[in-house]
Amino acid sequence: MGGAKALNGDQERLLYQDKQLKIVMRFAPQAPAVALVGEVDATNSAALARTLAGLRESGCPLDVDTGELTFVDLSGMRVLALPALPAAERWIRLLNVTPFQQRMLRMMGWFYEPHPADRP
């Protein structure tokens, strides 16, 4: 965990970091979101799951920005997509999903519905 720092007028707080992945909470004017920067694979997907679970608030979806991920494997996508849960019970809402990530989600049988803020 780390302290908050200013980022383009917004605030950012480090939640987790290893050699491949940085997880930060960004407090933007529109809404706070967790941003994932770097790579998620089998070596850090459990840490990602623990970090996101620690932020979960009952009944409130957690916005997770995946646009700055340069790589994510199946173990990481399973953490983000919550495939074992019915769609109505999923508490992670993905933002800035890349075409590669969308393809992986489709291969997992999970339909990606863009967040209203991501739609043109």
pLDDT in tens, 82-116: 888 887 888 999 999 999 999 998 888 776 565 55
Residue 40 CA to residue 6 CA, distance in Å, equals 25
Q: Which of 15-24, 38-47, 100-109 has the lowest mean pLDDT?
A: 100-109
The CATH number that applies at residue 23 is 3.30.750.24
Please report which confidence band the pLDDT of residue 74 belongs to, taking 50, 70 and 90 as the band edges: very high
Q: What is the pTM of this model?
A: 0.82
Residue 120 CA to residue 26 CA, distance in Å, equals 22
Answer with the residue of higher pLDDT: 20 or 106: 20
What pLDDT does residue 1 have?
41
- Reading phi first (left if > 0) and then psi (alpha if -120 to 50, else beta), residue 82 is in left
Rounded mean pLDDT of the chain?
85
Domain count, the chain: 1
Residue 16 pLDDT exceeds 90 = yes
- Reading phi first (left if > 0) and then psi (alpha if -120 to 50, else beta), residue 23 is in beta
What pLDDT does residue 115 have?
53
What pLDDT does residue 119 have?
46
Domain extent for 30: 4-118
Q: Are 28 and 10 in contact (CB under 8 A)?
A: yes
What pLDDT does residue 116 have?
54
Angle at 75 between CA 39 and CA 13, to 5 degrees: 45
